[in-house]
């Protein structure tokens, strides 16, 4: 008997692997004018667009009826003034789709030499990501490059793909091309994918697919708790984290890194708690930024809630609606962090 979501997992792994290879190679060749600034002032690169084109092309072939909630859309790229960038995205996407077959890849996935897509097919693939999300049905959610600012500075970033059924995440992948495979070998081999299936546990596999390690969040040794937190002060309230450190007598420095790689690090015990409080600008967190990470934490024996202790709701559309601030940690520490967060919020008259 095959396990539930076995085919979805296989296809998602293929898609994330190819997108990781693409983004790594883009980074090495990226030139300054290949980055645009979106309406919300965040950057987007040819890497984000071409990775979304590749993942959506692969998903569209294997699961033609599945909608996709993807971060990017092709509207800007369809404008005549961006034709040079568009050509670059098409070339990069086709380079990734036509690379020789690798582990777990079969010819029926529409990959390998000779499988180029037309420009129109690739623009349409990007726009397959326009689903609005919702309470019922099955849909994928994709962040083709999470942590674009980390990507641009050569730091951590992640290709994140999750499958959501009736508002619940059932499969999640976080591909981290720049993350060391072993936490105690920071200068060793890099490139891992965190893979999790609901009810089936989580594993870390290498980008090349030659090594798989099962994951569980280890208990925190008393006195060694530390935070995983954003690099970007505009993305999370880092001063709030300092206040929680005081309340919990945390003395270890936080581990700062971009992207959902933080969830992967929490899952393998590289940090005790991922705390992400909003900066008060009204920004609403998106489902593609937390879907894979939330299932990863739960399947590794941890707990993830918002700052009021509520579970995250992935059935409200493209954003996480009223969920406000995130606390992800092992079972042994989540309760004390939540209590400290509530105390700190009360101190500043917030709930």
Query: What is the spatial distance between Cα 321 and Cα 335, in angstroms, rounded to a whole number?
Result: 23
Residue with tokens 């002060």: 233
Interface stretch with Mg ion, choices 21-29, 142-150, 214-222, 275-283 (CB under 5 A): 142-150
Asked if residue 49 lies in contact with residue 120, where contact means CB atoms within 8 angstroms, the answer is no
Running DSSP on this structure, what letter comes out for residue 258?
-
Interface with ligand A2P (CB under 6 A), residue from 234, 239, 339, 346 = 234
**Does the annotation list 289 as a binding residue?**
yes
Closest approach of Cβ 140 to ligand A2P, in Å? 16
Query: What is the spatial distance between Cα 20 and Cα 173, in angstroms, rounded to a whole number?
Result: 12
Beta-carbon contacts of residue 42 (< 8 Å; ≥ 6 apart):
148
Closer residue to Mg ion (CB): 8 or 146: 146
Length in residues, the chain: 351
Q: Does 294 bind ligand A2P (CB under 6 A)?
A: no
Which position's Cβ is nearest ligand A2P? 230
Q: Does 35 bind ligand A2P (CB under 6 A)?
A: no
Closer residue to Mg ion (CB): 41 or 351: 41
Q: Does 52 bind ligand A2P (CB under 6 A)?
A: no
Give the interface size with Mg ion as a residue count (CB under 5 A): 7
**Does the annotation list 143 as a binding residue?**
yes
Q: Does 146 bind ligand A2P (CB under 6 A)?
A: yes
User: Residue 69 pairs with which residues in a beta bridge?
Assistant: 130, 141
Q: What is the rounded end-to-end Cα distance, in angstroms, of the chain?
A: 48
Closer residue to ligand A2P (CB): 53 or 109: 53
Other CB atoms within a 10 A radius of the CB of residue 132 amount to: 9
Catalytic residues, by residue number, are 48, 148
Contact set for Mg ion, span 332-351 (CB under 5 A): none
Q: Does 146 bind Mg ion (CB under 5 A)?
A: yes
Nearest to 284 by CA among 44, 40, 46: 40
83-97 vs 6-29: helix crossing angle, rounded to 10 = 130
Q: Does 306 bind ligand A2P (CB under 6 A)?
A: no
Query: What is the spatial distance between Cα 216 and Cα 282, in angstroms, rounded to a whole number?
Result: 34
The pattern of x and - marking residues 54 through 73 that bind Mg ion according to CB under 5 A reads: -----------------x--
Binding footprint of ligand A2P on the chain (CB under 6 A)? 42, 71, 143, 146-148, 150, 230-232, 234-236, 258-259, 281, 283, 289
> Would you list which residues are annotated within the binding site for Mg(2+)?
71, 143, 145-146, 289
């Amino acid at each position: 008997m095959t396990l539930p979501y076995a085919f979805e997992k296989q296809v998602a792994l293929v898609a994330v692997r190819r997108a990781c290879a693409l983004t790594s190679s883009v980074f090495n060749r990226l030139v300054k004018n290949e980055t645009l600034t979106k309406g919300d002032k965040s950057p987007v690169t040819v890497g984000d667009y071409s990775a979304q084109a590749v993942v959506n092309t692969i998903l569209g072939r294997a699961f033609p009826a599945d909608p996709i909630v993807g971060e990017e859309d092709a509207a800007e790229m369809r404008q005549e003034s961006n034709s040079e960038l568009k050509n670059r995205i098409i070339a990069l996407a086709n380079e990734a789709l036509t690379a020789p077959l690798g582990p777990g890849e079969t010819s029926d996935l529409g990959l390998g030499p000779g499988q180029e897509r037309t420009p129109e097919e690739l623009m349409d693939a990007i726009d397959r990501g326009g689903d609005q999300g919702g309470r019922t049905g099955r849909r994928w959610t994709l962040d083709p490059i999470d942590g674009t600012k980390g990507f641009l500075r050569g730091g951590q970033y992640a290709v994140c793909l999750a499958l959501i059924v009736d508002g619940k995440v059932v499969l999640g992948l976080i591909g981290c091309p720049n993350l060391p495979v072993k936490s105690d070998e920071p200068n060793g081999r890099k490139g891992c994918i965190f893979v999790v299936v609901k009810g089936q546990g989580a594993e870390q596999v290498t980008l090349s697919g030659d090594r798989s390690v099962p994951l569980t969040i280890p208990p925190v040794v008393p006195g060694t708790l530390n935070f995983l937190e954003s690099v970007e002060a505009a993305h999370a309230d880092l001063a709030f984290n300092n206040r929680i450190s005081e309340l919990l007598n945390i003395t270890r420095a936080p581990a700062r890194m971009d992207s959902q790689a933080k969830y992967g690090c929490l899952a393998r015990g590289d940090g005790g708690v991922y705390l992400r409080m909003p900066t008060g600008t009204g920004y609403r967190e998106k489902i593609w930024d937390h879907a894979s990470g939330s299932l990863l934490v739960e399947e590794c024996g941890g707990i993830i809630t918002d700052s009021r202790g509520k579970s995250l709701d992935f059935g409200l559309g493209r954003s996480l609606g009223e969920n406000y601030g995130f606390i992800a940690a092992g079972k042994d520490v989540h309760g004390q962090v939540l209590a400290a967060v509530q105390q700190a919020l009360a101190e500043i008259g917030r709930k």
